[in-house]
Amino acid sequence: MQYLYYAIAFLVAVVALLLLVNRPQYVVIDAPLPVAYEGVGFPHGLFENLLGRYVSADGKIDYAAWQASASSVAELNGYLAAVSAISPETDPERFASRNDELAYWMYGYNAYVIKSVLDHWPIASVTDVKAPLEAVTGLGFFYRQRFSFGDEYLSLLSVENKKIREQYQDARIHFVLSCASGSCPIVRPELPTGDALEAFLASATAEFASDPGNISIDHEARSVVLNRIFKWYRKDFENELRKAGLPAENGLIAYAQRIAPEPLASALAAAGDYEIVFHDYDWALNSTE
């Protein structure tokens, strides 16, 4: 019994040390609120213009050029000043629909990811942004850093899981949120809101599914090879099947079939008994360099 007491005390001490050493790092946006936000709504034009300037045709980002342009960095900070001052929770009247709210969280997430890369530039991967005691990959980037959304400082992990996944329950967000890494969805320069967001989510899903690096079949090995995103968020994809009234057994292959283009969709339908294999995640920066 005494040994158990010591073991528990040691575990508590270790957790306390981890929390102390890895205490949150608050990212403060020191920029004035742009004129565009003095009215109603929440426009994303500032961020959209920047993406149009620095995102390549294949969805990669020219971080070096962006970071070298003081005016472009200031424009991004201006957009994030609005994200920091306004949210669907602090100013619900600015968001006319649920899609407008979802757009705010998704685009704000992606904008803060880019800001963090620029702030730490040059880096080869977001995993280079480390916590003092890095217990798991990405702890420093996705958890320790806290970004302002309305009146709340949140980690990227909290934004994804608490604000987006729990509240909106749409698995297609995993094909829009970009963690600035090779295996992430590409960055898309258009930022629609309202009714147009539905077509945007559908297009992002189709584009992700069309990439053999995300979904492919190895008939010789009798395996379906998937991006690791499908493993991490398996519950979300299986829930989509349930909402559509479809069985969730062998759900990842069924979901992949549902979103894949032909002839891949038909091939997946015939591979229902294949083993699922997940790619190693590519954490290399999604940079044009």
Q: Mean pLDDT for each consecutive 10-residue tract of the chain (289 residues)?
A: 59 54 92 95 98 97 98 98 98 98 98 98 98 91 98 97 98 98 97 98 98 97 98 96 85 96 96 94 96
107 within some domain:
yes
Q: What is the pLDDT of residue 22?
A: 78
215 within some domain:
no
Integer CA distances (angstroms), 11 to 3, 17, 91, 140, in order: 12, 10, 42, 22
Q: What is the pLDDT of residue 247?
A: 83
Number of separate domains in the chain: 2
Domain end (from 208, 233, 262): 208
- Does 93 share its domain with 190? yes
12 within some domain:
no
283 within some domain:
no
In 90-244, DSSP assigns E strands to: 145-149, 152-154, 215-218, 223-226
- Does 32 share its domain with 102? yes
Range of the structural domain that residue 272 is part of: 220-278
- Does 89 share its domain with 175? yes
Handedness of CA 198, 173, 102, 78 (dihedral sign): negative
Domain end (from 174, 208, 242): 208
53 within some domain:
yes
236 within some domain:
yes
Q: What is the pLDDT of residue 272?
A: 84
Round to whole Å and give the CA distance between 185 and 10: 41
- Does 204 share its domain with 227? no
Nearest to 85 by CA among 45, 160, 165, 31: 31
- Does 189 share its domain with 61? yes
